[in-house]
Structure 1
Amino acid sequence: MTTFTVLTNDETNDSVVPLTYSTIDAAIASAQLGDTIKLTENFGDEAAFVVDGNFTVLSAAADTITVGNEDNLIDAGAGANTITAGTGNNTIISGAGADTIAIGNGNNYVNAGDGANTISAGVTGTGDNVIIGGTAADTITVGNGNNRIKTGDGVNTIAAGDGNNFIIGGVAVDTITVGNGNNYIDGGTFGANTITAGFGDNFITTGNAVDTITAMGGDNIIDAGDGANKVTTGVGNDIIAVGAGADTVTSGIGDDIVSVVGGADTVTTGAGYDRLVVDYSAFSTNMVSSPVTGAVSYIGNFSDGAANIVSFTAVEEFYITTGGGNDTIVTGAGADILDSRSGADTLDAGAGIDTILAGFGSDLIYGRSGDSIDGGEDADDTDVDVLNLNHFGAHEIVLDDPEKGTVYALDASGTRIGSLSFTNIESIVGDNLVFAAPEVLSIAVKEVAPEVLSITVEETDLVVPCPEDVAGILVAIDMVGQEWSNVNGHWVYDETKIVQNGRELSAKDDTIETGSGDDVLLGSRGNDTLIAWCGDDTMNAGWGDDKAFGGRGNDVINLEKGNDFAEAGLGDDVINGGAGDDLIYGDTKIEDSLGGDDKLRGGAGNDELHGNNGNDQLNGGSGDDVLFGDQGNDNITGGEGNDWAAGGVGDDQMLGQTGSDEMHGNDGKDYLNGGAGNDTLAGGNGVDKIVGGTGSDTIKGGAGNDNLWGGNWSSDSASDTFIFEGGTGKDYVHDFEAGLDIINLSFFATTFDVVKDAVKDLGWATVIDLQYFDGGQAGDKIIIKNVGVDDLGFDNFIF
């Protein structure tokens, strides 16, 4: 029989006789604060506890312990114990055995030991609990606090309320459910886990089993491992990576990034601008993609059955990497990246500002306006890469050297309206190829509009500018090197002149002004002023330092050689800059509601473009350009040269392309990609995605929870610098290279020793909590993925 003896704490009275009881409850009721209760027989003479809220019951039997609302310390020992505690801050330790532990609201610590434990802590409260389970099947339930839970290798069930929870499961099958909050959940290396998270910015990782992961909403990062996983997300900008299994991924509304590695995957994205990253680099078989449509599309090795086929729906943008096979990859509209490592590949990125890297082998590449193409070179330089321009339309090709150049897209008037850059291309094919070089002048006859004929001639060619007795036709004649006269009753002129029904306008400084109607205005070689007040007008300024004003209507303004000024006015306008240092404005700022969606192209020269109101497209072309998106969701491309760009207010898409560019997203949810060169990129306010591209880039996310890449969506072996300040939010750095990249903390008054105290290693990433720095704010964090604390040294920081 176990007895409980109360030893009084009255040191002044030696005559007090100890009292002995048969139950612990009776002993506790008798004892005073400071008394000692001694347990005999089953426990031995050494087992005792002091009546001060701390209990040590080192029994191997099944103990039942109930305490009140004090701050209790309970060590129950082995056995199937039942422990109940109130609302204090409790510390409970139990040994092997199937324990049942129920504690109230408070900041509790529970180490349940091995056994199939059932643990509930502050289910309706907001306490911050730390709970460690055992090796058997644990059931753990906590409330709405910031809880830290680690289970063993059993089949565990974990339920947590709203809060920022940190949960690590074991190797078996875990079921983990959390409420709203920013949660970290590691489902363990093995085990078919079921994980459900509420609204919040969650990080969820699992191992190589068949997992089911659901995140209701928020900007989630999910790494599902190599099993045949089912991943579902709600509204938010999610980053989802799955491994080699046959995965099913369904993302909700938002700008999501989904990465797969070539399993039999099914990817469905919701509304937003979504990117699918497919990595077939480990495969040597032939990969083929079906045309990208609104319905289900596919990519994979169709000859091997369905094992390596990825199906996808509603994806806007692709980053596809293939391996050693002879691949055929076709994508649709969107800013795609096609990277074929080796083999005789066929690549077609569709419409959009695409990057095609053909790699080793003799490849066939279909080019369109906006593409940047590198055919790649074999080690012995024996490959023959072919650029096909059948989809390009009217164009002219300018060669910088035999394998490098630019293809310019031309509108109906012959004005350059877009371009494709290429390098390492040995052959160009297409219908009616037109090459332009300084020593060559081509003859082109094309109808600009139903009432306009534009003709460019050279040397002794005969030109008939206007049929006899036909009124209402405008003709522009550009003749090179010869003087002309009337031949056989037709008009032939010297130099450059503009004719309207036989009446010529001189090559002086002309002013041409129209009223209502859809007009065509043709300048000459002087410094002309063209004004089209109303209607959908077409203006060709000609050579000289010209001024063109669009007025109301959907106008097309073509600026040729000279330092020109153009203002679009109201409407959806197109302005093409031409050669020279041009100043171009979109819609005038009368009312935001009147702003149109303009297309502004700087062309050659150091241009300045202003989008003003509306969702505009700005392309600086060649030269060191200055681009302002202003109001609206703008698409800005710097082009060749060292460009400066500001997105303004709105959700902007900004691409630097070549050169050392500087880009500022300003307000809105912006996407910045520096492209090639040593770029400076700043996101400004909003949840931004910033990609440095190749080169040593300087990147600053600004306010908002940003996603940052120093390289071109991956490490680029260049030294990039990431700048952080107070109020920047929770930023993710996805491709930090510890041996090269720099974190600039000069905004804060801090040292490397302070940084070391503010660093936490999560295994998958290192977190630097900026709120501990002088000038930092709560919630500011740097999350450096795939980098451990030990990888970072003093040389990785600027203070």
Structure 2
Amino acid sequence: MGGVTVTFGFEAQDQGATATVTNDTQYVESGDGLSASGGLRLYGCGGEGGIDNTSTTTLSFASNDAAYGDAISNVSFRINDLDQGTSSDYHRDIVTVYAYDADGNLLPVTYTPEGGQTVSGNTVTGQNVDNGSLTSASQAGSVLVQIEGNVARIVIDYDNGGPTDQAITITDITATTTAAADEEEGNDTLLGGDGDDTVLGQGGNDVIAGGAGADHLSGGDDRDTFLVGSAAAGAGDHIDGGEGGDDYDVLDLTGAGPVSIAYDNTNPENGTVSFLDTDGNVVGTLDFANIENVIVDHGDGYVEGTSGDDLIDTAYTGDPEGDMIDHNDAILPGDAANDDRVLAGAGNDTVYAGVGDDTVWGDLGNDSIFGEAGDDSLIGGEGKDTISGGAGNDTIEGGNDADVISGGAGNDDVDGGEGDDVITTGPDGLANYAPDRGYPGLFPGDTDPGNDRDTVYGGGGNDTISTGDDADYIDGGTGNDSIDAGCDDDTVDGGDGNDVIVGAEGSDLIFGGTGNDTIYGGLAPGYPDSLNVPDATDLRPDNGMDTIHGGDGNDVIYGADDNDMLYGDGGDDYIDGGIDNDTIEGGEGNDTLIGGQGDDYIDGGAASDTIDGGEGNDTLIGGEGDDSITGGAGDDSIEGGTGQDTIHAGTGNDIANGGDGDDRVFGEDGDDLLTGGQGQDSLDGGAGNDTLTGGQGVDTLIGGLGSDTFIVGSIDDGNHDFVDGNEDPDNSDWDVLDLSAIGRDHLNILYTTPDHENGTVQFLDDYGNVTGSMEFHNIEQIVPCFTPGTLVATPKGERLVEELQPGDKVITRDNGIQEIRWAGRRDLNRAELAVASHLKPVLIRAGALGNGLPERDMMVSPNHRMLVSSERTALYFEEHEVLVAAKHLVDNIGIKPVETLGTSYIHFMFDRHEVVLANGAWTESFQPGDQTLGGMGNAQRAEIYEIFPELQDSEGRKAYGAARKTLKRHEAKLLMHR
């Protein structure tokens, strides 16, 4: 910058903040005079929630040439990529720009947002959500910054309103250098006299009179007054008030007689004064620019009160210059006929501003201000004020003390200021509104969803805020605030303090901020909310999808209706998701998290949490700490994480993993899959056909009711474990201990009971040495099948059973010719049979079943059932035909178990349980019951489930009933008695 040196300073407030030069393309407009090539990139790595300082950048200017001043003027640059993040990767860019003159006085900064950013004083805040598409070249993230006056120093303070990383870019800067003489300032009185004069006021509060002639008058910076006392003095003049410094310039036409003023439609500080004769003819004109106030003979445009308690309305005549409310005067730049400006002054005043776009300053005292119709600007000032905006898009500032503010209809901007304020921007109660999204059969949607979008800042104090209709933005500020956001998709920030926030109808974004907050995504308890309906029957499942961040503190959060995203953040939080499919993250602290109805995702995060999934198929993660997790109803997936967790899976077919630590896992009802993980875990399957895996550590595994499977993944996993399959009251359970991952060569099983259900598993090394053991009780296994060599009757004659494949046809006793749907095989070697002697095959000699059957010797598995038909079956069981397991027919004469070096069991299955002809004798096909499926390998079981998916649950298996009554051991003995 010729003649001026720029000194750059940077201070990082978070440890990862940086300032780097970038070549990235920037968003600029043709009239900016700015370069689109590169800029200064400011980066921060994120805060802990709330507003955190990121960095401070300073630009200082000093002359390096005696011909130039130290300051620059007409400064312009852009801030790009100023936005906010998504709820899962949240940040919010907050930038404050301060400009100072050489004496350290603040200069005004003007922002022009391109993408809906909000401006408050010297601070601009990102609003557009960056879902990955916003860059430094995007218009939606750009803000134009302009500074007039003699600028000696610029400070850019960069903050983060969220916990994740952020970045903005500062473009290059355009400015005008100043001559050294221009910096000579003072409160001057300058008189032009006769002739066409040029008068320059420079800085300071100057009084300038051009006198006769066509004069060029320039006030420069600060508050200047231009005196034009007659048409002769003003005609032909060009007056520029200037915009720098403490700017408020006045064109005083007192004594000039009648005038007509035409203001520029694009800039109300510019215009033309026409001087009139007594007949209304124009006798001269004056052009003016950058003039904030024009005073004429018939008033100065301000209705002024007294120091007492005034009633200022259309009948008020107490103004010294004769100004009145709704006087159809339009004296000041930009004013329409009834746009009034009211200075109420001291005292407890009552102001009715009437129609038009009015500006009212309450000043001192407990004032009552009514903006009435129009887009009003109402400032309460000191005292406990009552302010009503009325209809229109109003801007209201309560000021200090406890104010009562009503915005009324329209898009209002309200700042409560200090004190315990009560702020209402719409009627109370949902019955007064039509939400943006209608509800079929109850009410239609809002026909104008943008006519009541309010912005409310509570400021300091314990504020009560209610916004009503449309998508509002609410910032409670400091203090213990009570906030009701009303209808539609609102954004609420409780700020510091113990706040109570009600999101009400709509999909709201809510931040509790610091403090122990209570937040309701929907309506507060006790309110008759007929719209809380599970999504399965909800005709409007998107009108309550809230995103809530509790922030620091021990917060209480209720999600209510629809699919909510709820984050506890810091502190010991209580979160209730309500109905539908919610996402809940507890964050830090000992949290209590409740999913409620729906398929919820819950992550406890750090510390010891209490989690209850409630109804639905939930995903529950304990995270760090000693967590207590309850799955509730539904098929849940539960992960305990680190720590000594207690898990109650609840009803349904659940998957539960204790994770690291000494955990207690209870499957309870349903067919559960339980895993202990690392540590000394205790697993209890409860009711149902459960699968239990202890994992590493010394574990205790209890099957409970039902047919359970216990899986040992390695010798280290199983060493010192205790397994109890438990016995059902009717002995109908079939529990399986699966050691297949270890291999038979590393196992030695010692049975302690004749039924081979109890015993000890010894773990062997490669040399057969015992390296460890585990204890088991109440463990059974059944593998039902034929052996190779058995001939099965088919329409094409007898075929070897081992040759049969799915699709082959077989003759059945009950349903004629049927097609095989599935066939499988299991091979057992000598070592396996030695360990599981109860699986040794049973030999049925030819004729052993009577009547010459079977026609040839046949071997079957012990639990394979043969058809028996005799007078005894009818006598004892009232059945002409029954099925009896081969092991119950053993008489050690014609039917007996045999020793073998190995055997293969083959089974095939139809659409239903059938009776088939094998070696001339009627016998059963494969029936997929709980016990038989439990004794199979995973691959074969998966094959069957793929063909018959209904067999994966107990009801499906019950429906695949036996073709005949099956006799128990003691019943079979009655048939063998001779």
Q: Which has the larger radius of gyration?
A: 2
The higher-RCO structure (CA 8 Å, 6+ apart) is: 2
Give the alignment's TM-score, normalised by structure 2: 0.39
